[in-house]
Homo-oligomer: A and B are copies of this chain.
């Protein structure tokens, strides 16, 4: 069977239009964010919305909870939708909610979103004290039930400690190497070596703030970075995690950045002059542009097997190893 096409991070303003674009682009599975700062109950409201979409659009999308659902979606011409949280807020201070969230379909959870959490330190804090007492227990519980630790928005030390403490491979679902573009959210060579050396996965982000040159980043530049990463870390540990936020109003990026934790505006990777979502590169506007990236990877000399892996095969293997009980 053909290798699947998987994008392992999206937060679009989902609608029938986006679902049809996913089909037009041949996307077999996506991992979508269902919480930034939401409490457990608010996260459940977001799951309810997804349940309604699954009921309304059964020919376009299906709920994904196991790796086999990627193949099922592929065979039936649909897109499997897997859930993740970018923050541990949905589990509140209750370790028992980890298994409950897993039973509700959550498959990825970040230990932090930029700030210090109950579990670890985010990449925007001045000091990173690593995994907390609770953080270590939470990683153990996530390992037990099959909820993947995602450190995309975490600090360096916390990330290294999560890799070390976790008995199963972890993920950085959406970020790029710091050596390519020195953004706070991009990851050091040290982190990426530790991540991939332990079987973990890196998903390449297409969010302009993570790209060398921002919105003006070229397809060639992006693909050359991937080719270099494949040499450094092994192509089999790489995938896509576009961070596509198509159609979201700017109020949503404000929610991502300040949630309810601040009364002041925090522009995060933006600025007062450019507070909203940045424009996407012209070669990746939406889910119909994945073939362009595939072409770009061919052009920089990656072979078919490497490209099939990066475009989805590697995430499928990771799903197979990660979503069940330990």
Contact = CB atoms under 8 A, between A and B. Distances in A.
Contacts of A44: 40, 97, 100
A104 interface: yes
A104 B40 CA distance: 14
Contacts of A48: 94, 96-97, 99-100
A12 to B, nearest CB: 21
The number of times this chain is found in the oligomer is 2
A103 interface: yes
Contacts of A40: 41, 44
Contacts of A47: 100
The binding surface of chain A is classed by DSSP as: helix
A64 to B, nearest CB: 13
Contact of A99 (B45, B51, B99): B51
Contacts of A49: 96
Interface in A75-110: 94, 96-97, 99-100, 103-105
A41 B40 CA distance: 9
Interface string A32-48: 00000000110011011
A94 B47 CA distance: 13
Q: Which 5 A-B pairs have the closest CB atoms?
A: A48-B96, A51-B99, A44-B100, A103-B104, A48-B100
23 contacts: A40-B41, A40-B44, A41-B41, A44-B97, A44-B100, A45-B96, A47-B100, A48-B94, A48-B96, A48-B97, A48-B99, A48-B100, A49-B96, A51-B96, A51-B99, A51-B100, A51-B103, A52-B96, A100-B104, A103-B103, A103-B104, A103-B105, A104-B104
